[in-house]
Amino acid sequence: MFPQTRMRRLRKNANIRALNAEIRLSAADFIYPIFVIEGENIKNEISSMPGICQYSLDRVDEEIERAIQSGIKAIIFFGIPAEKDEMGSGAYAEDGIIQKALRQTRAKYPNLILLADVCLCEYTSHGHCGVLQDGKVLNDPTLPLLAKTAVSYARAGADIVAPSDMMDGRVGAIRDALDDAGFIDVAVMAYSVKYASAFYGPFREAAGDSSPKCGDRKTYQMDPASGTRQAIAEAELDVLEGCDYIIVKPALAYLDLVKEVHENFTQPVVAYNVSGEYSMVKAAAQNGWIDEKKIVLEMLIGMKRAGSDMIITYHAIDAANWLKDEQ
């Protein structure tokens, strides 16, 4: 009780504040997304995501080197194929863009942690995350394609596969396929709590116009109005099917669910700081309305305080460099 207790004693200078900090950020907390595209000598800046580009394989090392120099230890690949078809065959082709990126990167950077996003939406001509028939996304026929994709990524060198499709049963199908193929040490980072969110807008451009050509994804991604019970149920199903990590996506509007997942499961929790969250900060910073560094670091601290063990973020390189500057 005041005056005996004075909380300001814990804040009286920078060193005291650092000593008492309960949440600490480091480059090791971050997973950096990289977009790879078929072609040569390509570095396409994504207009809605300033500072983020699509890279051809002959130039992707430029971005990987930047990430490594900042102290980042993990990257996740998203692919833009040269061609798309109804079944998304580019996702599980042995010479697919992600497979080639994984093999190339594994050979050059053997200690870098490599993740690959497992979904069909970037590879299907209709833009949906699964097999489409008469305007409906078919759950069960999609599962073997996702499993085949995950195994091909593991064979190419992925440490972790990350299914983002939100089909029921996909974690179990992928885990079984990986084990049957001998990849028992390849982990599954499941997009377990993933919402049909308006925050994904800029990603559609980054991923090569991956928007659905008909309908939307609301029949398989979660409704933002759903509550904790559905989030826990989704995560529990993925845990029972063998996932090693649980992703909550997006992050900022769903930090309550990051906390709930953290408190209910022992698997590491990953917050995905998505494209729309990134772009809003970038736009405000470019207009001089906010201090980008302070806002970004505060947001990332908030995600960790809510319970995330790691963060997928497009801010990763900037944040890692800012943290180094503060040391």
pLDDT per residue over 235-275, tens digit each?
999 999 999 999 999 999 999 999 999 999 999 999 999 99
Query: According to the model, what pLDDT value does residue 216 have?
Result: 67
Query: According to the model, what pLDDT value does residue 202 have?
Result: 87
The pair phi, psi for residue 72, each rounded to 5°, is: -70, 140
Closest residue by Cα to residue 73 from 112, 117, 25: 112
pLDDT per residue over 14-25, tens digit each?
999 989 999 999
Within a domain: 208: yes
CA triple 286-288-305, angle to 5 deg: 85
Report how many domains make up the chain: 1
Residue 282: its H or E element: helix 275-286
The gap from C-alpha 26 to its chain's centroid, in whole angstroms, comes to 17
Within a domain: 17: no
CA 118, CA 238: separation in Å to the nearest integer?
15
Within a domain: 14: no
Q: What is the CATH number of the domain that holds 273?
A: 3.20.20.70
State the pLDDT confidence band at 299, using cuts at 50, 70 and 90.
Answer: very high
Query: According to the model, what pLDDT value does residue 79 have?
Result: 95
| Residues paired with residue 79 on neighbouring β-strands, in sequence order | 36
Query: Which sequence positions are flagged as catalytic?
Result: 194, 249
CA 83, CA 75: separation in Å to the nearest integer?
24
State the pLDDT confidence band at 214, using cuts at 50, 70 and 90.
Answer: low
CA 300, CA 51: separation in Å to the nearest integer?
18
Query: According to the model, what pLDDT value does residue 227 have?
Result: 87
Within a domain: 307: yes
pLDDT per residue over 51-68, tens digit each?
999 999 999 999 999 999
Within a domain: 1: no
Within a domain: 9: no
CA 258, CA 305: separation in Å to the nearest integer?
10
| Residues paired with residue 249 on neighbouring β-strands, in sequence order | 194
Domain that holds residue 32: 23-326
Query: According to the model, what pLDDT value does residue 130 have?
Result: 81
| Residues paired with residue 138 on neighbouring β-strands, in sequence order | 131
Answer yes or no: pTM beyond 0.85: yes
Within a domain: 15: no
Q: Which has more pLDDT, 136 or 43?
A: 43
Within a domain: 4: no
